Amino acid sequence: MPSLPLPPCYEGPVIRDFLLTLDAAQRELGAILRMPFGKGELIMVCQPDLAYEVLVKQNRNFVKLGADGQTPGLQRILGAGLLTNPDYESWFSHRQIIQPFFQRHALERFAGAMVRASERLIESWHDGEPINLTKAMHKVTLELIFELVFSLYPEEAKAYPIQVPLSLASAKTSTVRRAAALLDDNIYALIKKRKLEHENGKEISDLLDLLLKAEDTGGNKMSDKELRDELLTVFAAGHETTANTLIWALMGLSSNREAKEKLERELRVQSQSLSLESLKRLPYLQAVVKETLRLYPTIPFAPRVSLKDTELGGFFVPKGSRLFVSIYSIHRHETYWENPLAFLPERFLDKGIQAAYMPFGLGERVCLGQHLATLETQILLASLLKHCSFDLEHKEITPRVSISLQPKEEVWAKLRLLQS
Ligand code: HEM
What is the DSSP track for 309-346? -EEETTEEE-TT-EEEEEHHHHHT-TTTSSSTTS--GG
| Ligand 1 site-directed mutation target among 101, 146, 286, 299, most atoms within 8 Å of CB | 299
- Give the residue among 10, 1, 15, 7 at the shortest CA–CA distance from 400: 15
Is the beta carbon of 234 within 6 A of some atom in ligand 1? yes
Which domains are seen in the chain, by residue range? 73-297+357-417 (1.10.630.10)
Cα gap 149→143, rounded to integer Å: 10
Cα gap 233→238, rounded to integer Å: 8
Helices vs. strands in the chain: H and E counts, helices first: 15, 12
Interval between CA 325 and ligand 1 midpoint (Å)? 14
Interval between CA 232 and ligand 1 midpoint (Å)? 13
Give the residue ranges of the chain where pLDDT is below 70: 1-2, 67-72, 420
> Which residue has the CA at smallest separation from atom 43 of ligand 1?
367
- Give the residue among 100, 103, 108, 101 at the shortest CA–CA distance from 280: 108
| Ligand 1 site-directed mutation target among 94, 367, 378, 401, most atoms within 8 Å of CB | 367
Is the beta carbon of 237 within 6 A of some atom in ligand 1? yes
Which pLDDT value is given to residue 65?
A: 83
Is the beta carbon of 300 within 6 A of some atom in ligand 1? no
Which pLDDT value is given to residue 108?
A: 87
pLDDT for 34-83, tens place per residue?
A: 998 888 899 999 999 999 999 999 999 999 987 666 666 788 888 899 99
Q: Angle between the 283-295 and 224-255 helix axes, to the nearest 10 degrees?
A: 100
Which pLDDT value is given to residue 420?
A: 65
Strand pairing category for 40-45 and 322-326: parallel
> Which residue has the CA at smallest separation from atom 21 of ligand 1?
367
Interval between CA 274 and ligand 1 midpoint (Å)? 24
Strand pairing category for 32-37 and 40-45: antiparallel
Q: Tell me the C-alpha to C-alpha distance, in Å, between residue 415 and each of 35, 170, 252, 267, 291.
A: 42, 35, 17, 18, 24
Which pLDDT value is given to residue 146?
A: 93
Residue 139 one-letter amino acid: K
Cα gap 408→332, rounded to integer Å: 19
Nearest ligand 1 atom to the CA of 376 is 27
pLDDT for 358-400, tens place per residue?
A: 999 999 999 999 999 999 999 999 999 999 999 998 878 889 9
Which pLDDT value is given to residue 348?
A: 95
Asked if residues 245 and 285 have their Cβ atoms less than 8 Å apart, the reply is: no
Interval between CA 233 and ligand 1 midpoint (Å)? 10
Which pLDDT value is given to residue 75?
A: 85
